[in-house]
Structure 1
């Protein structure tokens, strides 16, 4: 598989990103039930195209990462947070997620952030291993924070300096 091309999302990417988001939905990473039609727009007041990096292979979007602020507080403005990551099943395991994580770390740094954080479900071993391999460390665990698909799941807080 060729290297993914990473770029900032465009307004015209909304339909493809919405489809990808719905196609990759799983309780492995989702804390809300599967969305049912009519679907909410992918972009909204809180997160627009400029808050997303997309991965393209062969001109087709195969992944995205969402970068935001963990809080609206000025005292927290030096921190960015990964608030969504999805990779198409057909390209998973080919470095697309890693390329997106590396790109979003670079973007956070370009924005002047000093730290980047994320939250990941405790049972999402593949994502946790990816984040750890890119320098993120567990900074806290909220045990049994979510009840998903019949089981209690930890919310794991991870972060790293920039």
Structure 2
């Protein structure tokens, strides 16, 4: 994938990609967010294959961002502030390896920042439980089907969106209001 000069990539798995995509689309400095699949063995996986948990892939988002407007460290802060990194292979009622917490780094700086951030949160016992978020080199990312892209913004009244995603967006707007698009 070619990215525009001056832009960088970040790839996060933090449970359902509808949730993580909705959060990161709100941030100033984020140019795009693509929902997809990463970290497994199946080539060109489908949503149906991901849901059965056999592919090894996680639901994830690939973020294209401007590091002059928002840093990778700030993205990490919001990633950890908007999902539960202490539950293995699960976020809320979404259960399975496809809902794991994982950072897929694109360079050594991202790897080091991720390791340092987790070490700091562990030392400070931020969550009161061990952090299970994995850190892995970013392998091939497979874009999810079109109907998954920008899902929340197109389906806000759907039950899952109303009850699971809207509270995350409200928290984001309250806690990280200085980082939001105007």
TM-score by length of 2: 0.27
Instruction: Give the structure with the higher percent helix.
Output: 2
Query: What is the TM-score normalised by the length of structure 1?
Result: 0.30
Structure with greater strand share of residues: 1
Higher RCO structure, 1 or 2 (CA under 8 Å, sep 6+): 2
